[in-house]
Amino acid sequence: MTWSTADIPDLTGRRALVTGATSGIGYETALELLRHGADVIVAARNPEKAAQAAERLTQQGGRAPTVLELDLADLASVQRAAEDVLTKYDRLDLLINNAGVMAPPYRQTVDGFELQLGTNHLGHFALTGRLVPLLLKGSRVVTVSSFMHKSVRGISQDDLRRPADSYRKWEAYSRSKLANLLFMLELDRRARAAGAELLSVGAHPGYASTHLQAAGPELAGRARQAQLWGAATRMVAQPAAAGAWPSLYAATYADLRPGSFVGPGFFEYRGTPKVVLPTRTAQDPELAQRLWAWSVEATGVDPVLTVPR
């Protein structure tokens, strides 16, 4: 299959919210959406970085995005951001759950959850759940995972509050990416069961050159290691713009089936996007239902996919 960003249709009049859009894949995703006419909301934790990104996006994309303050590691911030969106808008056509942290030293979210599961999964679960009233009118939700989800065989409720003495940063990252897929597929099942016009799909970037790889060492105060990670990534990974292709394909391809998972075509490492397969574990509906229940308990958000009449 051949595909390029030139195949993205005209998005004039469509509204999109992209989390983690100040750099990397999120930035490139927001940029292409702007270039194709969408009204883009850039959701980010750091207001200064968000403002700088918005200025660059305006210059490169020819249109100004809206900035939304959102810290996915703080459920109160998620609630405030969602309420802001619900108050200002009557429609949200695209929600791209892109933001994430990768392999940091042990940290907890504001609410006491292991940082990677708390940010990458619970934050997006709560955001999506709170925005459900805007998503049941033909919207598309894209949840960004990783091929690293293949390296773990399961997830438990205890993982949400895993203590420091049993923390393994790459295992935790992979579990968070597995959680993203379990959530994406369960959201799809629930939307279809309710007869809701909500398309839930997933994407992963392959191996793309972003700041994400160096962020973990930076948090640990290992500047030299962060520099080495950054240099190695730039040598072997595809550019962030190419890493955004699966997300853009998942967000805009008209004939994409519900529950599809999109990744790079060349061994899921790089290249043109195509539909790929999650692992059996990621497709386990019973595990997905359990994770959904744990997430409701953890966040206090219970997404009810009731079709508006």
Write down the pTM of the prediction: 0.90
Rounded mean pLDDT, 135-150: 95
Hey, which residues are catalytic here?
Answer: 145, 173, 177
Rounded mean pLDDT, 19-47: 97
Report pLDDT for 146: 96
Q: Three-class SS of residue 198?
A: strand
The single-letter code of the amino acid at 76 is A
Q: Which among 191, 172, 159 has a CA at the least distance from the CA of 103? A: 172
CA angle, 204 as apex, 203 and 209 as ends, to 5°?
Answer: 140
Domains held by the chain: number:
1
For residue 205, pLDDT over 60 is answered with yes
pLDDT digits (tens, 9 = 90+) for 284-307: 999 999 999 999 999 999 998 876
How far is C-alpha 98 from the chain's CA centre? 2
| Least trusted range by pLDDT, from 81-95, 145-159, 231-245, 248-262 | 231-245
Residue-range definition of the domain harbouring residue 274: 7-206+239-299
Inside any domain, residue 309: no
For residue 247, pLDDT over 90 is answered with yes
Q: Which among 291, 288, 268 has a CA at the least distance from the CA of 147? A: 268
Output DSSP code: residue 306.
P
Rounded mean pLDDT, 220-244: 61
pLDDT class of 115 with cuts at 50, 70, 90: very high
Inside any domain, residue 234: no
For residue 77, pLDDT over 50 is answered with yes
* CATH of residue 72: 3.40.50.720
Inside any domain, residue 25: yes
Averaged pLDDT of the chain: 91
Share of the chain above pLDDT 70, in %: 89
For residue 157, pLDDT over 50 is answered with yes
Inside any domain, residue 63: yes
Inside any domain, residue 308: no
Inside any domain, residue 223: no
The Cα–Cα gap between 19 and 29 comes to 10
What's the token pair of residue 117?
A: 């599961």
